[in-house]
Amino acid sequence: MMKEIDKAIKGRFQYKDTELKWILQQLHHHHHENWKKKERHQKCLTYMFNVKDKLLNELKPSSLSWDEFNNDCELMISESRFHSVSRRSETDLAELA
């Protein structure tokens, strides 16, 4: 894989093979951590729906059934554009609305 990346960016950047390897390792680590966080959120949400958590019940819009609310929450967690919302700017959040 490193050979293909090296071929694609050759001449655009100056780097050593060890630097490219380190960047790829960091990228892999970042993706792995995000996957673990997403899995944790899904498990927590599933538990909260299974026990009909009071907070979820209070947050549920009256226009949605419990199942519709559950499906919408699961969709929100599975879509990457909703991840790390706390790191987004107000402009980014306005675009999501």
For position 63, what pLDDT does the model report? 92
Token output for 68: 């519709």
28-41 core/surface letters (b: 16 or more CB in 10 A; e: else)? eeeeeeeeeeeeeb
Q: What is the pLDDT of residues 18-30, one digit of tens each?
A: 887 888 888 888 8
- Predicted structure pTM score: 0.48
Q: What is the pLDDT of residues 70-93, one digit of tens each?
A: 888 888 877 755 555 445 455 555
Q: Which residue type is seen at 9?
A: I
For position 22, what pLDDT does the model report? 84
* pLDDT at 43 exceeding the cut of 60: yes
